[in-house]
Amino acid sequence: MLVYSPLPPIATIEAARFEADEETLKAARKDTVIGGRENLSALLDNEISALRRSLELADYNISQAYSAVSSIATTVYAMIAAVILFVSPEIAKVVGYSIAAATIALSALGLSVYPRAIALPSRKKHFLIPAVSIPLAALTDPLFALLVAAIPSALLAFLERKEYIITFEEALEHLRDAASRPWAPLSAVSVEWLKRREGWMLVDALRKLIELAGLHGAPEALSKAMETYGKMYNYIESFSRKGLMMFAYTLIGAVVTATALALSLATVRLLSPHLQGLSIGFSFQTPSPEIRFHFMASLALISLGLALLTSWCREGTWRYYSMYLPFIVASCIVGWFVGDKAVVYLFRWGGRI
């Protein structure tokens, strides 16, 4: 906005009442003194170039982030748990929680993927709703409890995200209309729309730019701003598509992991009567009934970590994680059901039980 505003940069900051970082303030002061926009234009060009580079590297960065987290949360967990379960179910339980904690911590890798300049805001507290699953887990299994708690949160998160995207689209449409009326830009918008504040700097700055251009007679500023804001919108959409594609792979990984864990646990339980007392190189321990609860709890925590990663990569903030949580949890539930039932049918087909 400072680059295109008809007012001097410092006057624009004061009129808009926006907080600017130190680098922007320094450039604004210099441009105000010399009566130009060279320093601010350089900052804007650098920001756009950084966004373009981030988009070009998005496929690689998102793939790397998902590979790092998913390999630990799915492949490593399934392999280690399957082996350790035969030796020590208690250690398998600890491994599950450790991997879940690592998954949540590694979800912060998403910070390096999405540019902060175009991150979606979030003002609502829907991200707190899944916490209801903690007491619910005492009444049912952790995965089902988290699924029940996450569904309303996911709906609210989806609606808020959709609201912000629509708001940006409307702002771009108003910008086009205002730019197409150089004789009276303000006739393209209502006073109520100009006074509204969304809490999203991109949209609020665009509103103020239209207002200043109309009041101080600089319609050419709107035409120049259209290209910049159009690019930012395209970047947001591109990151959304790329993040959604990787999310699909996450769902597949969740199904495979839950299936592998359920298969391992069911196999150990079915074989335990035959392994007791045998000399097989280690002391076999029959898993306790509680191990199922702990495996499901670890899967619930892993689902949380994968949802956080998806939100970081697709929205640039963790606050929309609940939008993805029910789908990951549901994938784990499906995988567990398939793995649990598959063992029985496989052993019956083989004539073992």
Kindly write down the DSSP assignment for every residue of 275-319, as one continuous string: HTT--SSS---PPPTHHHHHHHHHHHHHHHHHHHHHHHHHHSSGG
Ranges of H-type helices in 38-76: 38-56, 58-70
Q: Are 88 and 286 in contact (CB under 8 A)?
A: no
pLDDT of residue 49: 66
Residue 19 DSSP SS3: coil
What per-residue confidence (pLDDT) applies to 300? 93
Predicted local confidence at residue 163, as pLDDT: 92
pTM of the model: 0.80
Identify the pLDDT of residue 245. Answer: 87
- pLDDT score at 216: 58
Residue among 238, 261, 249 nearest 309 (CA) = 249
Long-range own/partner contacts, residues 48-54 (CB < 8 A, 24 or more apart): 48/228, 48/231, 50/115, 50/117, 51/115, 51/117, 51/118, 51/231, 51/232, 51/235, 52/231, 52/235, 54/113, 54/114, 54/115, 54/235
d(CA 32, CA 55): 33
Joined tokens for residue 209: 């730019």
What are the 10-residue block averages of pLDDT along the chain, 353 residues in total? 56 60 65 63 62 64 78 78 76 87 87 81 88 80 91 94 91 83 71 74 78 64 78 86 87 89 80 55 61 89 92 91 95 90 66 51
Within 8 A by CB and 6+ apart from 253, the residues are 70, 73, 74, 75, 306
